[in-house]
Amino acid sequence: MSKNKVEEAPALFVIGTAGSGKTSLTSSIVDWLIRKGINAEAINLDPGVEFLPYEPLIDARDYVDVYEIMRTEGLGPNSALILSIDLLVDHIDEMRKIFNESTADLFVVDTPGQIELFAFRSGGLVLAEELFRGNKAIAYLVDAAFSSEPMNFISNLFLEAAVYSRFLLPTITVVTKADLVSEDTIKKIFKWFTNKETIIDDVRRIYDAEKYLYVKNAVKSIPSLGFLEKPIITSSKTLEGIIDLYASISRIFFRGEETKYGPPS
Ligand SMILES: Nc1nc2c(ncn2[C@@H]2O[C@H](COP(=O)(O)OP(=O)(O)OP(=O)(O)O)[C@@H](O)[C@H]2O)c(=O)[nH]1
Ligand SMILES: [Mg+2]
């Protein structure tokens, strides 16, 4: 795989709810790619993270200090994180210098635990647009244990739709922590993603008519959205599915093919 010489390396934004496995997956996929001879670099855009299992090319914590912001501005942790992302935007030129010198084939971008910081606040959108000049895509992480309950699955599906609506980028749905649930649970989640009637049926079986009618109507709005490809089942612990994730990334970024949702933007 070689990078298009006139363009900068593509970026895969790893996005998901708090604790869904973003940092672990960023680390696993980057390690895996490097072992395959692909020059992948991790980027940490989470100013609040304490420990990273990878060595990032760019680390948000080098530019903003959440704890310092809490002290000097008298803010709580969430407000300080919001301000951190806005302040990080002021460092785009410094960070761009590092990108300009990088020979990476791919940037894998770990995003903040609080999904709204990157996906819904303007600072996150500015960072996504101005920091990364190559093609972009999203890996949206769905925690297998959390999403094995039908209504958790539905809320996560709509959260994914909300993220998609902000970026309109090719989106790979990645089920994480497969090692923590049974094979039957994985099969069930896979079916929910690929055949919406199965999630509607399960909601009908478990919940009252009101919830069932809501889900039935609400889920109808989902098929036209771009992210509903088959989900990729992964575990950062066992490395299950990392090769499938690589195949998806490769299809979006490196073969120049049109994706199901149009060319990568
Ligand atoms: N068993 C198992 N545990 C996992 C896996 N991926 C992540 N974890 C665990 O889940 C917890 C959260 O993982 P992280 O990678 O920090 O998740 P995150 O989405 O980056 O978390 P925040 O940045 O805080 O939102 C940690 O305890 C991880 O060890 C996995 O594939 N299998
Ligand atoms: Mg993290």
Quote the CA–CA distance of 181 and 126 in Å, as a whole number.
37
For residues 258-262, average pLDDT: 37
Question: How many CA within 13 A on the CB side of residue 265?
Answer: 11
Question: Which CATH class for the 142-237 domain?
Answer: alpha beta
Tell me what pLDDT residue 225 has. Answer: 54
Element containing residue 168 per DSSP (H, E): none
> Which pTM was predicted?
0.92
- Please tell me if the CB atom of residue 218 comes closer than 6 angstroms to any atom of ligand 1: no
Residue pair 242/32 in contact (Cβ under 8 Å)? The answer is yes
Q: What is the CATH number of domain 16-136?
A: 3.40.50.300
pLDDT in tens, 183-211: 999 999 999 988 888 999 999 999 999 99
| CB within 8 Å of 78: residues ≥ 6 apart | 114
What is residue 230's DSSP assignment?
P
Q: Is the CB of 176 under 6 A from ligand 1?
A: yes
Q: Which residue's CA is the closest to the ligand 1 atom numbered 22?
A: 113
CA distance 261 to 68: 43
Distance CA 163, CA 100 (A): 28
Domain with CATH 3.40.50.300 in the chain: 16-136, 142-237
pLDDT-derived band at 228, boundaries 50, 70, 90: low
Ligand 1 atom nearest residue 17's Cα: 25
Task: Please list, in sequence order, all residues whose beta carbon lies within 8 angstroms of the beta carbon of residue 63, skipping any fewer than 6 positions away.
Answer: 87, 88, 91, 94, 95
Question: Is 135's pLDDT higher than 70?
Answer: yes
CA atoms of 32 and 151, how far apart (whole Å)? 33
